[in-house]
Chains A and B, each alone.
Chain A
Amino acid sequence: MKRLFPILSVITAALLAYALYEAMVVAPTERTMGDVQRIFYYHVPSAWTAFLLFMVNLVASVVYLIRRNPKADALAVVCAEVGVVFCTIVLVTGPIWARPVWGIWWTWDVRLTTTLVLWLIYVSYLVLRRFSDSAQTPVLAAVLAIFGALDVPLVYFSIWFFRTQHPQPVIGGGGSLDPGMGRVLLINWLAFCCFAFLVCWSRYRLEMLQREVEEAHAMESLVGADGVSAKASLPLNRSPR
């Protein structure tokens, strides 16, 4: 497994470079928006990757609540963290694209608002993890993830009814996307997914290592305290466990 990591890193780097070339050079220039539209190849794949990661976070949270498996919890943390990063990229590239095209930085449209609320929920998820005591954190966080998942459809419907400005979904919707653009988009998404997977993987290893270290510390202090109390109560020297 460990040998796979550098191989995958090289593949991801190559794929990212290729995707950059495709997005900047090969993809056709959009007729009305011009070169600004190329931000599309970063905006949309980031969004898809973020949503994918949040979905994995939800599944891992549910699995944790049922099985109480610490690995599921570690996966949930990792996906939430990396997901927030990708979601931030979406929220930053969005206004940069919107300003020249729509003439405004921000609007309270369905997908913008839903993405923002999703981002807020997951930031509060990370804050909760940061501020609670280690033993209870996984349960509380998993419950919050479920609440967030219930909330998102409601946000979507409320804003959908309220107003909408965002272009209709280009893929799977009524719009038509140039096949050349679609190909570049998919290449970019593949590259982003590989990159996200790579980051998640190393973060997951780090998380598991951190937990091992914490556990070892806890054990050490437990044994240490035991040794002291044993020494204090018994004059005979017991061998430490």
Chain B
Amino acid sequence: MNSLWAVTLATLKKDIRLEWRSKDALNSMLFFSLLVVVIFSFSFDPTAEESRQIAGGLVWVGFLFASVVALNQTWARELRNQVLDAYRVSPAPPNSLFVAKALGNFILVSVLEAVMAPLFIVFYNLRAIGPAWQLIPIGVLGTWALVVNGTFFAAVSIRTRSREIMLPLLLFPISIPAVQAMVEATRIILMGDGSARFWIVLLLTYDVVFTTACLGLFETILHAE
């Protein structure tokens, strides 16, 4: 158990340090979602009431597309110099590698969300009518839902030709219920339209089910030959 966390932490630290020095993924994600905000904002130009209705969808679709940028480079970095092969033959537990990568992506996407959320509020004149604090658990659960499957399918898609385009093709169909739950929960809270409890529970279920599945099957994927 101890070595599991040690390996996880070491990998996570390494990834964060690499990202901190280059800031490649973060910068491109930030700029990408800024473009999404601006383009959506002037193509719809919504009133305050309309933006409450559509903002949930826009925010999450923007984050979904932007997170693909981070997810795609998760494993691509390990292909250079055969790091992934080295990992495969090392005695380190595969799941700790997976958890480290997923946590790294989670931090990256969370930073993106923290920076972009104020911009969304500014451009769409948002003000939540419902309990706004609930947006925090929705954000955490929703981000984890995108990132855990995204990290897993990024590991699948690096084994394919044209891997950059493969990831969204695999990830988006599986993510449909999670995206729907995030969008609905956000919309309900922004509009003050009843309780978002069902959607939060659904997100939690999605997270538990797919985290378990990813941990159970990651070793199979890593060693697929």
Contacts and interface: CB of A to CB of B under 8 A. Distances in A.
Contacts of B213: 146-147, 150
B217 A143 contact: yes
State which size class the interface on B falls in: 20 to 34
A19 B169 CA distance: 38
A158 B179 CA distance: 10
- Per DSSP, are chain A's interface residues mostly helix, strand or loop, or mixed? helix
Contacts of B225: 135-136
A208 interface: no
Contacts of B89: none
Nearest to B156: A140
A63 B158 CA distance: 25
Contacts of B177: 117, 151, 154-155, 157-158
A65 B176 contact: no
A154 B224 contact: no
B210 A131 contact: no
A148 B176 CA distance: 11
Contact of B156 (A121, A144, A148, A150): A144
B159 A140 contact: yes
Given A117-B176, A139-B221, A154 B205 contact: yes
A177 to B, nearest CB: 31
A128 B166 contact: yes
Given A121-B174, A140-B221, A147-B174, A127 B209 contact: no
Interface in B181-225: 181, 184, 198-199, 202, 205-206, 209-210, 213, 217, 220-221, 224-225
A107 interface: no
B161 interface: yes
A60 to B, nearest CB: 16
B160 interface: yes
Contacts of A128: 156, 160, 166, 169-170
Interface of A: 65, 117, 120-121, 123-124, 127-128, 131-133, 135-136, 139-140, 143-144, 146-148, 150-151, 154-155, 157-159, 161-162
Interface of B: 149, 156, 159-162, 166, 169-170, 172-174, 176-178, 180-181, 184, 198-199, 202, 205-206, 209-210, 213, 217, 220-221, 224-225
